[in-house]
Amino acid sequence: MRKRIMVKTDSRETLVDLTDQVEQVVHQSGIKNGLVNVYAQGATAAIMIQENWDQSVQTDVINLLRRMIPQGVWLHDAQDGNGDSHLKAGLVGPSESIPLMDGKLGLSRWQNVFFCEFDGPRPDRSIICTVISDS
């Protein structure tokens, strides 16, 4: 089963928790065991599994990437000013795969699935969620 999840972002760089939406797709699929792939469509966005306990880890991720890949110093900035966004998305990666076990995402207590926006705000970001049965 494949389903599109749409997200609106409200800042240039942010992490948006997708876990509830991914769990809804899994429930709708009726698949109990297999694999769930979450894929961000767009060259300036990514998917990350990260701690969900409080906002500090997500803020730390954004701050680390800002320090590692600063804005305004890349060749691509001459095109549309978002060279750093492309590099951040490439470093984090466009997708994550999560085991599906007995109808539940195989995440630990402290893990959630996050959409990483690096070139917002955007009114509509598309994430493709694919659920594959192991039988």
Q: What is the pLDDT of residues 109-119, one digit of tens each?
A: 999 999 999 99
Q: What is the pLDDT of residues 84-99, one digit of tens each?
A: 999 999 999 999 999 9
Q: List helix spans (H) across the chain.
A: 19-29, 55-68, 77-80, 83-92
Tell me the average pLDDT of the chain: 97
Q: Find, among 126, 107, 133, 130, the residue nearest to 6 by Cα.
A: 126
**For the whole model, what pTM was predicted?**
0.96
Q: How many CB atoms neighbour CB 60 within 10 A? A: 12
**Which residue ranges form the domains of the chain, and what is each CATH number?**
2-133 (2.60.120.460)
| Residues with Cβ within 8 Å of residue 70, at least 6 apart in sequence | 84
Cβ atoms 38, 110 nearer than 8 A: no
